[in-house]
Structures are given as structure tokens and as C-alpha cells.
Amino acid sequence: MKQALLGKIRNRSAVVAVVGLGYVGLPLALRFSECGFRVLGIDTDAERVAQLGRGETYIARYDRPRISGALKRGFRATASFAEAKNADAICICVPTPLTPQREPDLSHVRAAVDALAPHLRAGQLISLESTTYPGTTDEEVVPRTEARGLKAGREVFVCFSPEREDPGNARFPTHAIPKILGGATPDCVEVGLALYGAAIDKVIAVSSTRTAEMVKLLENVHRAVNIGLANEMKIICDRMGIDVHEVIRAAATKPFGFVPYWPGPGLGGHCIPIDPFYLAWKARAYGVHTRFIELAGEINAAMPVWVMGKIADALNAHGKSVRGSRVLVLGVAYKKNVDDLRESPALELMRLLAEKGAQVAFSDPHVPELRWAVHDEVPTRGSELTAGLLRSQDLVLIATDHDAFDYRLILENARLIVDTRGRYLEPAANVVKA
């Protein structure tokens, strides 16, 4: 059975199904298609499936020509999990959010595997890519496949290979990012290496699925803790009248022992604000209190409120209150040069501003409209960034520093700027650094 599946992978006759066609699943599906595999995309979002069927895109960096090219090569999107029976390999790329109590929410993973289970058959590879705590593959995926009479490592091959997408980073497309792989058995690892090795430049096998799950969490905890340190340094430097961005840039000239991390108005994206809490939750089951992780989470989560304080102080210094002030938020995506709104601190800032009575507008070259209402008083459509718009505002908040913004236009026309991203290193009379 293993040899038959390896043969299909090697001669590209294997059908690859990708479950979840979001920021992780869609690029993976496109990459497998470009490598000669017939690819089936499965997603519960009917509109997303329909858009792909028309050759349209809902993630800006994966443009229409790339979608159309995949369609010509046989790529097909569907909402039917029953079609998974035709797949030889199934990659699960579904969300793993937090509950309101900030505990892991595996409902999407469980729902996906449960929906797939009636259609699984012997000879398939099942790989989970969703970021999660150590033990998820062993505790959630393997039992559900074995309940169908499919023994992991014998009838089916089960792996965990965490996604490592970095939206907006043109230097590292999907195929250029090394892939970590852990398998339920050595045979599972062998099949997983063959599949991912056919599409990814470098695949690194580790000793178990639990190890692979921990690798991904360590990567994101590392960033969360260091960004928390940078945010705390920002608050200290602000009190001392020092520009933290100048400090970090100077420290980064050291050629060893220092890696720059940058402060901001909070953490965004699906990974860093969420994944560390998966490890903190699991660690409690082993009697370990993850103090670094939880402290960094507290600091990072508090940054939007700290920025709000800087906004209020800036307006007060000009004889205005937040209530009734016109505030333009520049950039609502969670990071520069992308259209990704997941966990964006800009949305939280817009909500806080609206609650304080500000008249909020936003401009983002990558997000012409919000996909959901942040607050009743917040518009869902963005504004074109013009000199007239800038002059009409009491305050301009730089929440995300897209390269497409004309910062000279902003500096010359805005009455008051609150800069959370360190765009303006040189002192300017109308700029407040936050």
C-alpha cells in the first residue's frame, strides 16, 4: 500500500485534496497544481468555492492568472467532503482560533476530520497543517481514522506538517520555505516526505507529530515574547523621551547576538496573537505555568489601549477631546502590504475610537472595504488618500505602514499624526510617536 502511494506521488498521478482554502490552503493547493498534481480544493465557504470556479481570487497576492492557470491544469474547488474519496493525499488547513476564554478551539479540525472520515479509504495520506498544541494529531486525527478501521501507518499514513506562510513576503513563496514533518510511524514519514518533497524545496523530518507540533509553537512563541519585549521597551523609551525605533536600528548593527523585533500598536495575524496560548493551555496539563508566554501576551494585548492614551494626549494638547474628533486610520491590515485583517490591532483601535465618540474613517490600498463591521459608527468602505481628506481630519493614525502610502503627502497635509510604526524618525511638529 505504501509503495503504491509512493509510486503515484513520484509519477504525479496522485490526486491531492486541500481542505480549507484560506491563507494557508490556497497557496498550498496552487503549488501542488503547479508541480503537476491534480488538485481538489474543499471548503465550506460556498462563495469562496464559486469565486475560484470563476477564476477569481479573494486573496490579492494570488492573482487571477494564477487561479486560471490552476483551473486549466485541472484544479477544482468544491464544498463536498465526499469527493475526498478520490484523493490520494489530504492536507487539512483549517483555522485553529481561541475560545472567548482564550483556550484552544479545535472545532474546525474536528469538524473537518469528522466530515472526511466517512469518505476515507485505505492507501491515503492525511496531513494536518493547522497550528495546534502537541498531541493533537495523536489525540484527534489518528483515533478518528482508526475508528473507520484504518490503522495509521498501515492502511493510512498520518502526518503533521505545520504551515509557515508569511503573507506579503515575496522573498519566501510557499516552495522556498522549509517544511517540518512529523509522522505517526516511520512509514508515514516516508510518504509525507515524498509528497511534500515533490512541491517544497526542503523538507525536514522530526521524530514525531508531537515534535512537529511543538516546533511551530516555538517559532511563534519566540516572536510573541520578543515583540512583547520590544513593546515594553517602547513604553520605557517613550517615558524617557527616547525613540525606540532609533534604538533598535542602532542595536541591529551588531553582527552577532541580536535580532531586531519591532514594536507596534498590538499583534495581528492568525499566528502570533493566538498560537502561544495553545502551548500555555497544554502546559498547564503538565503542571507548568508559562510565565514568559502569558506576560508577553498581556503586554501585546494592552498595546491598543496604550496607543489610545497617546491619541487622547495628542488631541488634548491641541485643545480637542477624542469625542467628536475626526480620526483617519491609515492601514487596517495586520501587517504592511497585505489585505489580511485577521486579529489586526487596527480594527481594535477603530473600535476603541468609535466607543470614545470619534468620527472614524480609514484608508488602506489593499483593503477597499472591511469584510465585517467593527462597530456601528465605523464605515465599512475605505477612503482614497488625498490631501483634502488629510486636511479634513483632526488626527491621522498610522496603524499599518503600507509602502503604497505617500508619506510626504501625509506629513505635509495632516494637522496631527500619531505614528505607531516608526515611520518618522526625524522630529516633526505635527507627529506624535506611539
Q: Which positions are annotated as active-site residues? A: 271
Collapse the DSSP code of 354 into the 3-class scheme (helix H, G, I; strand E, B; otherwise coil) and give the result: helix
Using DSSP bridges, classify how beta strands 359-363 and 156-160 pair: parallel, antiparallel or unpaired: unpaired
Dist CA 418 CA 434 (whole Å): 6
Q: CA torsion angle for 249, 251, 253, 254 (degrees, to 10)?
A: -160
Dist CA 134 CA 281 (whole Å): 11
Residue 111's CB is within 10 A of a number of other CB atoms, namely 13
DSSP state of 78: E
DSSP bridge partners of 363: 330
Amino acid at 423: R
Q: Measured in Å, how far apart are the chain's first and last C-alpha atoms?
A: 59
Residue 139 class from Cβ within 10 Å (0-12 exposed, 13-18 middle, 19+ buried)? middle
Q: Are 199 and 229 in contact (CB under 8 A)?
A: no
Q: Are 432 and 417 in contact (CB under 8 A)?
A: yes
Dist CA 343 CA 186 (whole Å): 37
Collapse the DSSP code of 91 into the 3-class scheme (helix H, G, I; strand E, B; otherwise coil) and give the result: strand
Q: Are 193 and 205 in contact (CB under 8 A)?
A: yes
Collapse the DSSP code of 284 into the 3-class scheme (helix H, G, I; strand E, B; otherwise coil) and give the result: helix
